[in-house]
Amino acid sequence: MKEILSPSFKVGILGGGQLGKMLGQAASNWHLPLYFLDESRDFPAGIVAAEFVEGNFKNYDDVLAFGRDKDVLTIEIEHVNTAALELLQAQGVTVHPHPEALDLIKDKGLQKLFYQEHHLPSSHFELFEDEHAVRHAVHSGRWQYPFVQKSRTAGYDGKGVAVIKNESDLQHKLLQGSCLLETMVDIQKELAVIVARNPSGEIAAFPVVEMDFNPDANLVEFLICPARIDPVIEQTAIELSKKVIETFGICGLLAVELFLTKDNQILINEVAPRPHNSGHHTIDSCYTSQFEQHLRGILNLPLGSTAMKCPSVMVNLLGAEGFSGPTRYVGLEDCLALPGVKLHFYGKSTTKPFRKMGHATVLAESVEEAVRVAKLVQEKLSIQC
């Protein structure tokens, strides 16, 4: 393989959104040029790209053409054309995460089967061909309310998830098409662990984070690090997440979303084999950011220290309700005047309700203080048009 930081060494990223942009910012410290494939160079990663190829990462020919002259390929979204990645891998391009893992992970049904097969703890589930089969299973008494229905392949940010509580939901709220049902978990807290692995087999986990959800948008609202949990539970969550990345055999990052149940069990909810919303705080609050760690993992470099510099709370900056149009940041200066606030904007030219437009990480000496300031950020900053 070519020397990693030589001018001819090319790292390609499928997807050019905000995760790609932040990967590019990390790569820029090493003066490592990144190449992107996505629909428009006006997307967030456009600003950091050595070259931005306009095309569709779901399209076989586009991925093949993009990948041919790259040394290493990775992703910032899992819904990419894996058939093309497999061919590129066979032709000698290094691909992380490996395409077989991507195929498993991008189908929530296959993901659950994988946990079952490897005895990794996760909620009880069953796969269904479509919504009619679900109704049949409920009417025949096999499934009782409440339960959670998930689309196998169409979901992100809560859009492919329905909580079915009664007959009326069963008639009106079911998602169409191939899906799975999960028993409703009695959740105490939702946690996430970002873990990294490199081809030499080194594994490192970032501190556990606590995800606080906005019930209206079903999006993470506050991300709190360190999570306010018992040290024994913290250790269990970290050990489990390391086991999950090892079992998948993934290099680069794996974000593991976990449920802490009311009776203190840890269950795997789902995983993402890439940088993740729940790791954005690491840019400002940890020795190594998740983005740098992903690059270290895919390039087989020593993994960086995941130690925390200070407690933090991350807030997603979402488009305000009632505004769709050219982006305008209202209250920016008030927000920058607050102590320990680090603002990150993704440069999306148009806003719409609940769209992820950026994030703020609040650094403080305690989690309580960071939560207090994070609430002020939400009050003062509004993304409108």
Ligand X SMILES: Nc1ncnc2c1ncn2[C@@H]1O[C@H](COP(=O)(O)OP(=O)(O)O)[C@@H](O)[C@H]1O
Q: Which residues of the shown chain bind ligand X in the complex (CB under 6 A)?
A: 123, 148, 150, 155-158, 160-161, 182, 184-185, 187, 190, 213, 257, 269-270
Q: Closest separation between CB of residue 138 and ligand X, Å?
A: 16
Return the number of the residue (62 or 107) whose C-beta is nearest Mg ion: 107
Q: Which stretch binds Mg ion (CB under 5 A): 179-187, 219-227, 256-264, 312-320?
A: 256-264
From the CB of 223, what's the least distance to Mg ion, in Å?
13
Name which of ligand X, Mg ion, none residue 156 binds, using a CB cut-off of 5 to 8 Å depending on partner kind: ligand X
Nearer to ligand X, 124 or 328 (CB): 124
| Closest distance to ligand X from the beta carbon of 260 (Å) | 12
In the complex, minimum distance from the CB of residue 161 to ligand X, in angstroms, rounded to a whole number: 4
Report helix, strand or coil for 341: strand
Of residues 87 and 187, the one with the C-beta less far from ligand X? 187
Using the rule CB under 5 A, give the single segment among 14-22, 133-141, 251-259, 304-312 that binds Mg ion. Answer: 251-259
Integer CA distances (angstroms), 203 to 210, 233, 246, 254, 291, in order = 21, 19, 8, 11, 15
CB 293 within 8 A of CB 306: yes
Which one of ligand X, Mg ion, none interacts with residue 190, CB within 5 to 8 A by kind?
ligand X
* Selection from 103, 366, 49, 86 nearest residue 224 by Cα: 366
107 binds, among ligand X, Mg ion, none (CB under 5 to 8 A by kind): none
185 contact, one of Mg ion, ligand X, none, CB 5-8 Å limit per kind? ligand X
Smallest distance from Mg ion to CB 270, Å: 5
47 or 187: whose CB is closer to ligand X?
A: 187
359 makes contact, choosing from ligand X, Mg ion, none, with CB < 5 to 8 Å by partner type, with none
Q: Give residues 121-150 in contact with Mg ion (rule: CB under 5 A).
A: none
Structure tokens at 241: 């997440």
Contact 118, 104 (CB under 8 A): no
What is the full DSSP assignment across 228-294?
SS-HHHHHHHHHHHHHHHHHHT--EEEEEEEEEETTS-EEEEEEESS--GGGTTHHHHBSS-HHHHH
CB of 198 to ligand X, least distance (A): 26
| Paired residues of 118 in beta bridges | none
The smaller minimum CB distance to ligand X, of residues 187 and 343, is found at 187
Strands annotated E in 160-247? 161-164, 179-183, 187-197, 203-205, 209-214, 219-225
Counted residue by residue, the chain has a size of: 385
Binding partner of residue 155 among ligand X, Mg ion, none, CB under 5 to 8 Å per kind?
Answer: ligand X
Closer CB to Mg ion, 101 or 192, in the complex? 192
The DSSP code for 215 is T
Q: Which CB sits closer to ligand X, 26 or 180?
A: 180
C-beta atoms surrounding 131 within 10 Å: 18
- How many residues in the shown chain lie near Mg ion by CB under 5 A? 1
Q: CA-based angle 372:375:377, to the nearest 5?
A: 115
Name 200's Cβ contacts closer than 8 Å, sequence gap at least 6.
Answer: 300
Q: Smaller CB distance to ligand X: residue 182 or 210?
A: 182
Q: Please, which residue, 184 or 308, has the CB nearer to ligand X?
A: 184
Shortest distance (Å) from residue 50 CB to Mg ion? 32
**Residue owning tokens 């680090």:** 342
Other beta carbons within 10 Å of 369? 16
**In the complex, minimum distance from the CB of residue 114 to ligand X, in angstroms, rounded to a whole number:** 15
Please, what's the largest Cα pairwise distance for the chain? 64
Cα–Cα distance for residue pair 226/206, rounded to 1 Å: 10
The residue among 350, 359, 357, 356 whose CA lies nearest residue 324 is 350
Work out how close the CB of 267 gets to ligand X at its nearest, in angstroms, rounded to a whole number. Answer: 8
Q: List residues binding Mg ion (CB under 5 A).
A: 257
